[in-house]
A and B are shown apart, each in its own frame.
Chain A
Amino acid sequence: MQTRSWKRTFKNTIFASAVGLSVSLAHAADTIKVGVLHSLSGTMAISETTLKDTVLMMVEQQNAKGGLLGKKLEAVVVDPASNWPLFAEKTRELLEKEKVDVIFGCWTSVSRKSVLPVIEELNGLMFYPVQYEGEESSKNVFYTGAAPNQQAIPAVNYLIDELGVERFVLAGTDYVYPRTTNKILENYLKNLGIGESDIMINYTPFGHSDWQTIVSDIKAFGSAGKKTAVVSTINGDANVPFYKELGNQGMSAEDIPVIAFSVGEEELSGFDTGPLVGHLAAWNYFMSAEAEVNDEFIEAWHSFTGDTARVTNDPMEATYIGFEMWAKAVEKAGTTEVDKVRPALYGTAVPNLTGGTAVMHTNHHLQKPVLIGEILEDGQFEIVSATPGEVIGDAWTDYLPDSAKIIADWTAPVNCGNYNIETQQCSGQNF
Chain B
Amino acid sequence: MSRASSPALRTHIMVRVGSFIFSLFFLFQVASAQTFVQGKALADASLKEKAVWMEKLASDDSEEATRILQYWLDGILVYWPQENRLVRGIKEGRRYQLQDLMTEEALGAVSSREIDRVKTNNSLRSALKQVLGSRQLGSSDRNVRLSAIAELKRRPDYKVLPLLKKREASEQDDQVARQLSELIGLVLLESAEANEQMEGLRRISGGLSPEVKDSLSRFLLNPNLDPGVVEVAQRELDAITRSLMYWGIGQDLFFGLSLGSVLLLAAIGLAITFGVMGVINMAHGEFIMLGAYTTFVIQQWIPATSMWSLLISIPTAFVVSGTAGIILERLVIRHLYGRPLETLLATFGVSLILQQLVRTVFGPLNQSVVTPDLLSGALDINAAFSVTYNRLFVIAFALCVLVTLWGVMQRTPFGVRVRAVTMNRGMASSMGVQTQRVDALAFGLGSGIAGMGGVALSQLTNVGPNLGQSYIVDSFMVVVFGGVGNLFGTVFAALSLGVANKMLEPLSGAVLAKILILVFIILFIQKRPRGLFALKGRAAED
Residues on A lying within 8 angstroms of B by beta carbon are 40-43, 45-46, 49, 162-163, 174, 202-205, 207-210, 212-214, 216-217, 219-220, 222-226, 237, 240-241, 244-245, 247-250, 253-255, 257, 266, 269-272, 275, 277-278, 280, 357, 374, 376-378, 382, 384, 389
A271 to B367, alpha carbons, bound, how many Å? 8
A223 to B368, alpha carbons, bound, how many Å? 32
A248 touches B378 (CB 8 A): yes
Stretch binding the partner chain, chosen from B156-164, B255-263, B306-314, B340-348? B255-263
Q: When the two chains form the complex, which single residue of A43, A220, A226, A270 contacts B248, counting CB atoms closer than 8 Å?
A: A220
Q: Nearest Cβ in chain B — how far from A369, in angstroms?
A: 13
Can you add 5 more A-B contacts, CB < 8 Å, to A46-B366, A212-B258, A237-B462?
A: A43-B466, A207-B462, A225-B219, A241-B462, A254-B122
Q: B506 contacts the other chain (Cβ, under 8 Å)?
A: yes
A179 to B404, alpha carbons, bound, how many Å? 46
A225 touches B460 (CB 8 A): no
Residue of B nearest to A251 (CB): B210
A204 touches B213 (CB 8 A): no
Q: When the two chains form the complex, which single residue of A220, A225, A247, A377 contacts B221, counting CB atoms closer than 8 Å?
A: A225
Q: Nearest Cβ in chain A — how far from B402, in angstroms?
A: 20
A216 to B505, alpha carbons, bound, how many Å? 12
A377 to B125, alpha carbons, bound, how many Å? 14
Q: B509 contacts the other chain (Cβ, under 8 Å)?
A: yes
Residue of B nearest to A270 (CB): B366
B368 touches A272 (CB 8 A): yes
Q: When the two chains form the complex, which single residue of B210, B259, B371 contacts A219, counting CB atoms closer than 8 Å?
A: B210
Residue of B nearest to A174 (CB): B511
Chain B residue contacts of A277, Cβ below 8 A = 75
A205 touches B510 (CB 8 A): yes
B154 touches A254 (CB 8 A): yes
Q: When the two chains form the complex, which single residue of B121, B389, B502 contacts A212, counting CB atoms closer than 8 Å?
A: B502
Contact with A along B238-260 (1 / 0, CB 8 A): 00000010001001100100110
A209 touches B122 (CB 8 A): no
Q: Nearest Cβ in chain B — how far from A224, in angstroms?
A: 5
Q: Known: A248-B376, A269-B365, A384-B47. Contact between A223 and B462, CB under 8 A?
A: no
Q: Known: A213-B252, A270-B367, A377-B75. Contact between A225 and B214, CB under 8 A?
A: yes
A225 touches B462 (CB 8 A): no
A254 to B464, alpha carbons, bound, how many Å? 31
Chain A residue contacts of B368, Cβ below 8 A = 269-272
Q: Nearest Cβ in chain B — how far from A220, in angstroms?
A: 7
A205 touches B121 (CB 8 A): no
Residue of A nearest to B47 (CB): A384
Chain B residue contacts of A40, Cβ below 8 A = 364
6 inter-chain pairs at a CB distance below 8 angstroms, sorted by A residue, are A203-B510, A220-B248, A225-B214, A225-B215, A250-B378, A253-B122
A389 touches B2 (CB 8 A): yes
Contact with A along B123-149 (1 / 0, CB 8 A): 101100100000000000000000000
Q: B461 contacts the other chain (Cβ, under 8 Å)?
A: yes
Chain B residue contacts of A43, Cβ below 8 A = 466
Among the interface residues A45, A162, A266, which one has the most CB atoms of the partner chain B within 10 A? Answer: A45
B122 touches A374 (CB 8 A): yes
Contact with A along B421-463 (1 / 0, CB 8 A): 0000000000000000000000000000000000000001110
The B interface, classified by DSSP as helix, strand, loop or mixed, is helix
B511 touches A204 (CB 8 A): yes
Residues on B lying within 8 angstroms of A by beta carbon are 1-2, 47, 75, 91, 119-123, 125-126, 129, 154, 210-211, 213-221, 244, 248, 251-252, 255, 258-259, 262, 356, 359, 364-368, 370-371, 376-378, 386, 388-391, 460-462, 464, 466, 470, 502, 505-506, 509-511, 514
Chain B residue contacts of A225, Cβ below 8 A = 214-221
Q: Nearest Cβ in chain B — how far from A348, in angstroms?
A: 14
Chain B residue contacts of A257, Cβ below 8 A = 122
Complex A-B, nearest 8 residue pairs according to Cβ-Cβ distance, in ascending order: A225-B217, A225-B218, A223-B210, A270-B366, A254-B126, A209-B461, A248-B388, A45-B364
Q: When the two chains form the complex, which single residue of A162, A247, A255, A272 contacts B123, counting CB atoms closer than 8 Å?
A: A162
Chain A residue contacts of B364, Cβ below 8 A = 40-41, 45-46, 49
B505 touches A213 (CB 8 A): yes
Chain A residue contacts of B120, Cβ below 8 A = 382
Residue of B nearest to A280 (CB): B122
B502 touches A209 (CB 8 A): no
B511 touches A205 (CB 8 A): yes
Q: Nearest Cβ in chain A — how far from B326, in angstroms?
A: 28
Q: Nearest Cβ in chain B — how far from A99, in angstroms?
A: 29
B378 touches A249 (CB 8 A): yes
Q: Nearest Cβ in chain A — how far from B21, in angstroms?
A: 23
Q: Nearest Cβ in chain A — how far from B90, in angstroms?
A: 11
Q: Known: A41-B356, A46-B365. Contact between A223 and B213, CB under 8 A?
A: yes
A271 to B369, alpha carbons, bound, how many Å? 8
Q: When the two chains form the complex, which single residue of A214, A250, A376, A389 contacts B75, counting CB atoms closer than 8 Å?
A: A376
Residue of B nearest to A82 (CB): B466
Chain B residue contacts of A280, Cβ below 8 A = 122
A217 touches B460 (CB 8 A): no
Residue of A nearest to B463 (CB): A270
A270 to B363, alpha carbons, bound, how many Å? 12
B255 touches A213 (CB 8 A): yes
Residue of B nearest to A384 (CB): B121
Q: When the two chains form the complex, which single residue of B213, B216, B356, B460 contacts A244, counting CB atoms closer than 8 Å?
A: B460
Chain A residue contacts of B214, Cβ below 8 A = 222-225
A424 to B359, alpha carbons, bound, how many Å? 52
A34 to B126, alpha carbons, bound, how many Å? 50
Q: Nearest Cβ in chain B — how far from A199, in angstroms?
A: 15
Chain A residue contacts of B244, Cβ below 8 A = 220
Q: Nearest Cβ in chain A — how far from B51, in angstroms?
A: 12
Chain A residue contacts of B218, Cβ below 8 A = 225-226
Q: When the two chains form the complex, which single residue of A42, A219, A240, A248 contacts B462, counting CB atoms closer than 8 Å?
A: A240
A249 to B389, alpha carbons, bound, how many Å? 10
A278 touches B123 (CB 8 A): no
Among the interface residues B364, B377, B389, which one has the most CB atoms of the partner chain A within 10 A? Answer: B364
B470 touches A209 (CB 8 A): yes
Q: Known: A226-B218, A237-B466, A241-B462. Contact between A249 and B386, CB under 8 A?
A: yes
Chain A residue contacts of B367, Cβ below 8 A = 270
Chain B residue contacts of A255, Cβ below 8 A = 154
A258 to B154, alpha carbons, bound, how many Å? 17
Residue of B nearest to A208 (CB): B510
Q: Nearest Cβ in chain B — how far from A191, in angstroms?
A: 23
Chain B residue contacts of A213, Cβ below 8 A = 252, 255, 502, 505-506, 510
Residue of B nearest to A39 (CB): B364
Chain A residue contacts of B511, Cβ below 8 A = 174, 203-205
A255 to B514, alpha carbons, bound, how many Å? 30
A271 to B58, alpha carbons, bound, how many Å? 34
Residue of A nearest to B470 (CB): A207
Among the interface residues B218, B221, B386, B510, which one has the most CB atoms of the partner chain A within 10 A? Answer: B510
Chain B residue contacts of A245, Cβ below 8 A = 388
A224 to B237, alpha carbons, bound, how many Å? 11
Q: Nearest Cβ in chain B — how far from A359, in angstroms?
A: 10
Chain A residue contacts of B154, Cβ below 8 A = 254-255
Q: Nearest Cβ in chain A — how far from B298, in angstroms?
A: 16
Q: Nearest Cβ in chain B — how far from A33, in angstroms?
A: 25
A216 touches B461 (CB 8 A): no
Q: Nearest Cβ in chain B — how far from A171, in angstroms?
A: 10
A210 to B252, alpha carbons, bound, how many Å? 12
Among the interface residues B215, B255, B388, B462, which one has the most CB atoms of the partner chain A within 10 A? Answer: B462
